[in-house]
Structure 1
Amino acid sequence: MLRVALIGIALAVPLATASAQTADSSDNLVAGSVLVRGRILGVIPKHGSATISRIGGHLQNSDSVAPEVDISYFFTNHIAVEAEVGYEHTTLTAQGTRLGNVAIGKVSSVPIFVVPQYHLLPFSRFNPYIGIGLAILPYFDADPAGGLVQQLSVSSEAGAIFQIGVDYRVSGPWYANFDVKKLILSAHATANNGALSASGQVNPWVIGAGIGYRF
């Protein structure tokens, strides 16, 4: 009887372990998975790249914090595409002009990113990834500072985005996320119906952290 019991236990343990692994793996990010995340982004633009006409100096975007939501679909265990949208509000200042530092105004934008990604460890709790994709930065609600600047318009061109990050399965379908993006794009600003203008590379670093749920 003892031998039969030991044999039964020996057989049951691997089966139980396999069953647990199968149940656990159902929450992995694999082919067919949909991951929805919410993140907080820190946006750190490149400063001093846009020269301002007539008064000289450089246009500077303030650093900002932005909310973001995104969704990723996994076409294979390793290949996914992430679509992301956020909201950013930034302050523009003309630095080092012949008139000193001049407040230009504030502007809002809705960053839109589409990034194909390669996920390195789909069957691990710790799943790093890299991505290269498209970034669009539509600006709206430009609010001139007044004084020297009575009218303000800001636009940007589509650009590239480079991304590296990691998803960590906390429990069940819940994931923690951290990633870093580098945007390569240019922006154009005009004030007072073209009397002042500035064009240059914005090229911000975007650092994000948040949580996600796997469907």
Structure 2
Amino acid sequence: MKKLLVAGAALAALLAASPATAGDPSGKVQVKLLGTAVLPDGKITSVDTDIVGLPAGTQTAASDNYVPTLAIEYFFNDSFSLETICCMTQHDVDAYSGFAPGTELVSNAKLIPATLTAKYHLPLGPVKPYVGAGVTYFWWVDVDPGAATIPLGVTRTDLSDEFGFVLQGGADIALGDSGFGLTLDAKKYFVDTTASWYANDTLAIQTKHKLDPWVLSAGIAYRF
């Protein structure tokens, strides 16, 4: 987490040092306002603790979510940039194998996916495709026990904060010379979490999950 925060602070310092100018399609700073679909996987990869006797083959799925996203990008030159995003997304986790449909195990799990990516752009006129890669830190800020677990005596549910990796691809489309443009972006995250369910202070179930969400965005951009 500390390294990611340092990188984010360095990017913020670069942005602060950039002179304020009118819109410019070749400017140093680009701000994007996006609509984003967060499409997680959420499947169990291992069961480490189980004192309640989960059905054999128990599996889970995390719900999709749709959120606004703010992205800030600094260009070192026409080809290379760093980008960070700001958003919070919320998910439920249901069991779908060995349980009745809609058996909720985790409720209203709120996530901040702190992300920093390095991007390579192909300057092909007004349409500029790019690819990127970077790091993420999944920070769970609030997690509630699912409705199906409370009658079983579950009093607390935790999801572990974890580092992961990100691959990215997309395109920026300039709209004239005003600095405004359209943007399309796809990210594939590779990150796990450990889920723990407690009955008072007793660890009842602990499972490892592969989240690996697709994060698909589209919106408007302003470069200056």
**TM-score when scaled to structure 2?**
0.77
Partner residue, 1:159:
164
> Matched residue of 1:111: which SS?
strand
Task: Flag the structure with larger Rg.
Answer: 1
Higher relative contact order (CA 8 A, sep 6+): 2
Q: Are the counterparts in 1 of residues 60 and 97 from structure 2 also a CA contact under 8 Å?
A: no
Q: Distance in 2 between matches of 1:65 and 1:75?
A: 31
Q: Distance in 1 between matches of 2:65 and 2:45?
A: 19
AA aligned to 1:55 is L
Partner residue, 1:131:
132
Partner residue, 2:80:
79
Q: Are the counterparts in 2 of residues 142 and 154 from structure 1 also a CA contact under 8 Å?
A: yes
Q: Distance in 2 between matches of 1:165 and 1:49?
A: 30
CA positional deviation for 1:111: 1.1
Partner residue, 1:147:
151
What do you get for the CA RMSD once the two structures are aligned? Answer: 1.9
Q: Which runs of 5+ in 2 are unaligned?
A: 1-22
Matched, 1:108 2:110: yes
After the TM superposition, which residues 132-211 of structure 1 pair with which residues of structure 2 at under 5 Å, given as runs? 132-145=133-146, 146-148=150-152, 149-171=154-176, 172-192=178-198, 193-211=202-220
Structure 1 residues 50, 64: closer, same or farther in 2, change over 3 A?
farther
CA positional deviation for 1:46: 1.8
> Matched residue of 1:46: which SS?
coil
CA positional deviation for 1:47: 4.4
AA aligned to 1:137 is F
Structure 1 residues 95, 197: closer, same or farther in 2, change over 3 A?
farther
Q: Are the counterparts in 1 of residues 46 and 209 from structure 2 also a CA contact under 8 Å?
A: yes
After the TM superposition, which residues 1-80 of structure 1 pair with which residues of structure 2 at under 5 Å, given as runs? 27-29=24-26, 33-52=28-47, 53=50, 54-56=53-55, 57-80=58-81
AA aligned to 1:180 is A
CA positional deviation for 1:48: 2.8
The alignment covers a number of residue pairs equal to 186
CA positional deviation for 1:88: 0.2
Q: Which runs of 5+ in 1 are unaligned?
A: 1-25
Structure 1 residues 201, 46: closer, same or farther in 2, change over 3 A?
same
Deviations 1:46-102 (A, max 9, x none): 2434455431412321111122111100011100000112110000112223x5453
Q: Are the counterparts in 2 of residues 60 and 95 from structure 1 also a CA contact under 8 Å?
A: yes
Q: Identical aligned pairs, as a percentage? A: 25
Q: Distance in 2 between matches of 1:168 and 1:135?
A: 26
Which deviates further from its counterpart, 39-48 or 112-121? 39-48
Q: Are the counterparts in 1 of residues 43 and 211 from structure 2 also a CA contact under 8 Å?
A: no
Q: Are the counterparts in 1 of residues 157 and 195 from structure 2 also a CA contact under 8 Å?
A: yes
